[in-house]
Amino acid sequence: MGRILYSMTVSLDGYIEDPDGSIDFSAPDDEVHRVHNERARDTSAFLFGRRLYEMMEEPWSTAARQEGLPDVEAEFARIYLDTPRIVFSDTLTRVPQGVRLVRRKDAVAEVARLKEQSEGTLDIGGPELAASLLDLIDEFRLFVAPVALGGGKPYFPVGHRLSLRLTEQRSFASGTVYLRYERG
């Protein structure tokens, strides 16, 4: 059986984007990026909500074709394009080759099926998708950036209490802290 994880960069006050919808605070330095690459290499599929998919797909698809890209970014672009991607959306009508489109209403059933049939890690990206799949998530991985945003879109859904157990932690020279939790 596969494992489902929810992994994103968050601010110290728990937001994945600022009040204006920007995630520019979350751009990793090379040291943190290498850890993202390592984790991505171990991923069987990326599961995205529409907004995060759109933030990721074009830049990384374009980056994969660019010359002169820093090594750590070029490596991630290759990993990203080589990993199956599933986007859950009711508004998209088509996606490029290598990406599968699933309607949001089918998300819970589809992810439960993938979890049952997979032996690997399924990585959820996007807070709304994660909130809809909360009961299926096995691990929560947070890259906590040294910034407080004062508002925005929260990593955890409002109104849900989760008991979690810290299983891994790591600090980086940039001040970013990696925290990995499993259900308690």
* Span 147-174, pLDDT tens digits: 999 999 999 999 989 999 999 999 999 9
Q: Which superfamily does CATH assign the domain made up of 6-183 to? A: Dihydrofolate Reductase, subunit A (3.40.430.10)
The confidence band for 58, taking pLDDT boundaries of 50, 70 and 90, is confident
Whole-model pTM: value is 0.91
164-168 long-range contacts, Cβ below 8 Å, gap at least 24?
A: 164/140, 167/139
**pLDDT (tens digit per residue) in 96-130:** 988 999 999 999 999 999 999 999 999 999 999 99
Evaluate if residue 59 carries a pLDDT over 80: no
| Residue ranges per structural domain of the chain | 6-183
